[in-house]
Amino acid sequence: MAAGGLITSLMLNEEYVVHVLGFKRSTLNEGRYNMGLQQEIFEAHLLAEGWFSSGVDWLKDKGVKGIDAIKDKSYEVGNAIKQYGADIKGVVAGLTAMVNDPEEAKEYKTGIFGSIRTWPKSLGKQLIGMAKWMEERNMPTFAKALRKIVELVGSLWKKATGAAGWLGGVSMMAVGLAVRYIEEEFGVLEKAKAVKSMLSNPGEIIDAIAGSEAAEEGIEQIQDFFAGNISEVIEGSDLYKKIAGFLEEKLGFLETIKEKFVNAAQKIVGGALEQFAGPIAWIKKLVELFQSSNWVVSNLSRMMTKISI
């Protein structure tokens, strides 16, 4: 990367400022002589340059040969895996190269976005359907909890998709990892679909109640409620508590979404990336969150070569 004064030759490259640093082209053109904007560009450039330099220095410390290749703006991120291996060295080389090439930064954000975009939509659809079901049956506490999860997932998704430039590409990788992790470990989308299907089908609910630990007592009354034979239940009553216990058992995956997806991903996407000194610090945080260095590195490596999760 170029170094030097406030406005370097690299920073004057419009494609770099738009696709790597993440500034809107219209804003850049309209504010070309705005010193405030130039300062923002400078600070964004320093952040990207710091990430790049950190990656290069780490590779040098590890004795990796031929790292000058990643300094070439035409170098493809996927080639880092082929050249340096699918282990941590190749992943660091790829993450380092990403902040040096406008087209690469753009391609990774859009590519990974395309491979995971249906997940939040599908999950949201199931949860909103459940919330409406709860509202129709005067169970506002459950409805509120469901809508809160939808809001949290939507907010995180907005943060990730809203991040521009290289921060957007790395953010999308982080969300991709989080989606893969929560599905591999907990299968939350299938659980959400199963509960939504159950609530829409009285027969499925009755079968589920029969096998529920939370509904061992008063099973006939609970079945009558879900079958529509009891139209109203007073909140706080014994029957309400039994129904609530059954629903809490079935909706246990909501806490998993909050803790293992939303709370985890918020620490590694968007503006949160600015806290990391470089790719190694970011990878260490991923390992801390997902509890396996091999899993993190292998999945990042796969994303870099396939540009999908």
pLDDT per residue over 218-242, tens digit each? 677 777 777 777 767 777 788 788 8
Task: Report whether pLDDT(207) > 50.
Answer: yes
The proportion of the chain whose per-residue pLDDT surpasses 70, expressed as a percent, equals: 91
pLDDT at 10: 45
Cα Rg for the chain, rounded, in angstroms? 24
Q: Residue 187 — pLDDT band, cuts 50, 70, 90? A: very high
- Condensed to tens digits (0 to 9), the pLDDT of residues 210-219 reads 666 655 556 7
- Averaged pLDDT, 244-270: 91
More confident residue, 184 or 85: 184
Tell me how far apart the alpha carbons of residues 137 and 233 are, in angstroms, rounded to a whole number. 9
- Condensed to tens digits (0 to 9), the pLDDT of residues 293-302 reads 999 999 998 8
The proportion of the chain whose per-residue pLDDT surpasses 90, expressed as a percent, equals: 38
Contact 91, 297 (CB under 8 A): yes
Contact 125, 149 (CB under 8 A): no
- What's the full length of the chain, in residues? 309
Task: Report whether pLDDT(57) > 90.
Answer: yes
- Averaged pLDDT, 82-97: 87
Tokens of 93: 């080389």
Contact 225, 243 (CB under 8 A): yes
Cα→Cα distances 234→106, 202, 225, 230, 231, Å:
54, 21, 12, 11, 10
- In sequence order, what are the residues at sequence separation of 6 or more whose Cβ sits closer than 8 angstroms to the Cβ of residue 116? 172, 175, 176, 179, 309
More confident residue, 80 or 91: 91
- Averaged pLDDT, 5-23: 68
Task: Report whether pLDDT(66) > 90.
Answer: no
Q: Residue 182 — pLDDT band, cuts 50, 70, 90? A: very high
Tell me how far apart the alpha carbons of residues 252 and 183 are, in angstroms, rounded to a whole number. 15
Cα 167 → chain centroid? 13
pLDDT at 216: 59
The b/e string for 64-76 (b: 16+ C-beta within 10 A; e otherwise) is: beebeebeebebb
- Condensed to tens digits (0 to 9), the pLDDT of residues 170-180 reads 888 899 999 99
pLDDT at 131: 96
| pTM of full prediction above 0.85 | no
pLDDT at 111: 83
Q: Give the lowest-confidence range in 7-16, 124-133, 186-195.
A: 7-16
Tell me how far apart the alpha carbons of residues 222 and 206 are, in angstroms, rounded to a whole number. 8
